A and B are shown apart, each in its own frame.
Chain A
Amino acid sequence: GQNIDQPTEMTATEGAIVQINCTYQTSGFNGLFWYQQHAGEAPTFLSYNVLDGLEEKGRFSSFLSRSKGYSYLLLKELQMKDSASYLCAVPDSGAGSYQLTFGKGTKLSVIP
């Protein structure tokens, strides 16, 4: 099965940088997703990492280390609208199965 662990809550200041960590244990590996979810809304795609390293996309970057079973999402120049839950997710490793398993999510609060 899949096991995903991420912090429950984080607080950061507007304009600052925050790093949200995710560790995972899977029987196989088909990449790792990060989603943003505002309260009462569906998740929106942020990133998909399948190779080791850092991928930068504007204010958001995502890092993956497959050997360590570790990823992080880096948010720069925080804005109030970045207050949301951030979900780490991995696809199932079974052949022909594309199910996503989500972590419990990290609720980020951005304060002035």
Chain B
Amino acid sequence: GAVVSQHPSRVICKSGTSVKIECRSLDFQATTMFWYRQFPKQSLMLMATSNEGSKATYEQGVEKDKFLINHASLTLSTLTVTSAHPEDSSFYICSAIGVGQGAYGYTFGSGTRLTVV
């Protein structure tokens, strides 16, 4: 089946630094990538939606200058957390839909646990 590879699985960074998270679709073309954030004991909250070759659409309350999303190719999307702070510590998950996957054929990455110290 469809696979989305997400890296890194865990990252610890110092406050003020930037962290890049990658999601690659391995066997399909991801036309749309969704980025979620999940705080402990809470559900997935959509941060932004990106379509290949277009600017991402951010949800209300998500700072686009802080969470930079790039979806330059049909197989790669990245989320960069800039100037990270401890409150950005969370579980970040990507989800892709794409060519041949059906309208609602969401494939999730394995998630990235970000800890900002």
Contacts and interface: CB of A to CB of B under 8 A. Distances in A.
Nearest to B94: A42
Contact of B104 (A43, A98, A104, A107): A98
Contacts of A31: 104
A42 B45 CA distance: 13
Q: Give the secondary structure class of B's interface.
A: strand
A99 B7 CA distance: 22
Given A100-B34, A102-B44, A103-B43, A40 B104 contact: no
Contacts of B103: 98
B111 A99 contact: no
Nearest to A100: B106
Size band of the interface chain B makes with A: 20 to 34
B104 A91 contact: yes
B34 A99 contact: yes
Contacts of B44: 43, 87, 102
Contacts of A87: 43-44
A105 B110 CA distance: 18
Interface residues of A, number: 21
B106 A45 contact: yes
Contacts of A21: none
A95 B9 CA distance: 34
Given A98-B104, A100-B34, A40 B111 contact: yes
A101 interface: yes
A42 B34 contact: no
A74 to B, nearest CB: 21
Residue of A30, A40, A103, A104 contacting most chain B CB atoms (<10 Å): A40
**7 tightest CB-CB pairs across the interface, nearest first?**
A42-B108, A104-B43, A102-B43, A42-B111, A102-B44, A105-B43, A42-B110
Interface of A: 30-31, 33, 40-45, 48, 87, 91, 98-105, 107
